[in-house]
Chain A
Amino acid sequence: MSSSHEIFSNLQNAKGEDIMAKIICIDDDLDVTEFLRITLEAKGYEVETAHNGEDGYEKACSFKPDMIILDVMMSNTTEGFHTAYKFRKNEELSLVPILMLTSINQEFNYNFSMEKDGEFLPVDDFVEKPISSKSLLEKTERLLTLPKEEINIKGIKKVI
C-alpha cells in the first residue's frame, strides 16, 4: 500500500464534490490514537482524537464525525460499551457507524464477533489489537459506505 493510494469515501457535498470523511478516534492510549490519526490522515480522512468516553462523546457532538473508532477498556473495562450506547441514543449521532477496538480477547478468553455480540452491542465491526493499518483501512472504508439502514441498532433496542 503506498501513500498515493486513493481515498475511499462516498461522501459528497451539495455541489457534488467529494469531501473528506470525518472520523473520531477514542482510546486512552495516546500512541494508539496517534497510530490511528497517522494512518487515517495519510488516506485523507479528517481525524479528531479523544482519550476517554466522556471527552470523546463531547468532541463528537461538535465534530459530527462520519465514523467513530472506539476502544473498549479505558478507565474501566466496559467504558467503550457504555460510550457506544450513548452515541446510539444521541439523535444526531445514532446512525454513525462505530468500529470497536478490542484487546481483551485473550484476557477474557473471548472472541468478539458481529454474529454473537452485534445482538447486544450497538457497534458495526470489531478490530482486535494490535491493529494493522491494512485491516483498519479496509474496515473504515466498508463502514463509511454502509447504508444507514444497515447500522447496527439491534442492541440498543433491547437495552432501552
Chain B
Amino acid sequence: MDNTSQKLKVFVVDDEPGICLGVGAILRDFKVNDQTSNSQVEFEIFTFNDGESMIESLEKEVPHLLLLDCKLPGIDGMEILENYLNPENEILTIMITAYATIETAIKATKLGAYDFLAKPFTPDELRYTVRKAVTHIMLRGQAKRLEEEKKRIRFEFIRVLAHELKSPINAVDGYLDLIKNRILGDEIEAYDGLVEKSVIRIDGMRKMIGDLLDLTRIESGQKKRMIENIDIIEIAKNSIELNCLSAEKSNINIELFSPDSLFMSADSGEIQIIFNNLISNAVKYNIKNGNVFIRISEDNNLVNIEVEDTGIGLTSDELSKLFNEFSRIKNEKTRNIQGSGLGLSIVKKISGLYGGDVDCSSTSGKGSIFYVTLNKTTVEGQL
C-alpha cells in the first residue's frame, strides 16, 4: 500500500462539550483506507459549541465533513443545513440527533443531509458512519476527476479536429489567393497544378468528414447495425477491387490467401470499413512494385485477418501511437500521403464490437502486418 495519506477536515458542532471532545478523540486516531487512491485518510477535527461560530469559520475554511447537532442553542442544525451551507462547497453533512424521528430524518435529507447519527452513539457507530461518508466523498471525487478527464479528452479531440479541418482550408485559401492575384501571370494553364492540388485537399477533407461520421456513429451506437450471416471473403474481394486502381499506379501486387468462403454474423458495412482501411493503407504506405498479402482464416470461433505490406513500416515509437485518433505518422516518407488519421481508430472500434482487437507488428523500412481478430458470433452490443 501507498504511504501517502490525506487529511479530511471535519467540523463537529454540538452544544454538549462531551460530544465534541469524544468525537474529536475518536476521529483523531481513526484512519480510513481510501480504495480510489490507495492511500490513507486521516482527520483534522475542529469543534464548535454553537452554529454561529461554525458559520463564521466557514468563511475561512470549508470542511469535507460536517457532524451537526440538530438542536443547538442559537441557530439550529436544520436552519444551518437549509441556509448556510453553500451547495458548491459539497460539504457532506451527518446530522447528530437525539430524537431520530422519521420527520426530522425526511426533512434533513430533503435539505441535503447525507446521514444520521443517533445520540447516544458508540465509538464504533461513529467510525462506521464516518467511514461510509469518507467512501462517499472519495468516490464522488473520483467520479468528478473522471468527468473532468472526459471533458479534457473531448476538448482535445475537438481542438485537434478543428486544426485538421482548418489545414486543408488554409491550403486551398492560399492557392485561391495566388490565382486571384495572378501570381503566375495571365495564362490560365499556369494555374492547373494549383487547382489540382486544391481538389486533392478538398477530397481529403471530405474523406475525413466521412470517417469522422463513421467514428461518431460507431461510438454513439447511432449507426443501425444489420447483423446477418455474411461471407467476409466476398467483402475482402470487393475491397481489393476497390483498391486495384491505386495499386496499379504504383505497380503494387495484391494477393489473397483464404478459403473460398467464410461466413460469420456481422454487419457487412462494418466489415467493409475494416478491409477498406487496412488494404488502402497497405497500398498507400507501400513502395513501388511492392506487395500486399491478405490472409483470412478461421480458428474455432475466431476469424483472423492479416494484411501485410512491403512498405515503409513503423518505428516502435510510431507503433505506440498508431491507433489513436488523428495520429497520422508524419515523416519525410509519409508527407505526400493523404489520410484522415482516423482509419485505424475506426478499425479498432469496430473490432471491439466483435469482441476482437487489432494489432500491428512492423519493421521500419521493411513493412507492416496488421492483425484483426473477430468473433464469428457476437451478441449485438455496444462498446
Contacts and interface: CB of A to CB of B under 8 A. Distances in A.
B152 interface: no
Interface in A35-93: 35, 38-39, 42, 51-52, 55, 73-75
B258 interface: no
B245 interface: no
Interface in B78-104: none
Contact size class for B?
Answer: 20 to 34
Contact of B162 (A42, A107, A134): A107
B183 A31 contact: no
Given A55-B332, A106-B162, A132-B177, A31 B201 contact: yes
B181 A1 contact: yes
Contacts of A39: 178, 183
Contacts of B178: 35, 38-39, 133
A71 to B, nearest CB: 11
Interface string B165-202: 01111111111011001111100000000100100010
B163 interface: yes
Given A39-B178, A42-B183, A133-B178, A31 B171 contact: yes
A32 B170 contact: yes
Given A107-B163, A133-B178, A31 B184 contact: no
A2 interface: yes
B330 A75 contact: yes
A32 to B, nearest CB: 6
B225 interface: no
Interface of B: 159, 162-163, 166-175, 177-178, 181-185, 194, 197, 201, 330-332, 335-336
Across the A-B interface, give the 4 residue pairs with the lowest CB-CB distance, nearest first.
A31-B171, A35-B174, A130-B173, A129-B170
Interface of A: 1-3, 28-32, 34-35, 38-39, 42, 51-52, 55, 73-75, 103-104, 106-107, 129-134
25 contacts: A2-B182, A28-B330, A29-B167, A29-B170, A30-B336, A31-B168, A31-B171, A31-B197, A32-B174, A35-B174, A38-B178, A38-B183, A38-B194, A39-B178, A42-B184, A103-B166, A103-B167, A104-B163, A106-B166, A129-B170, A129-B173, A130-B173, A131-B174, A133-B178, A133-B183
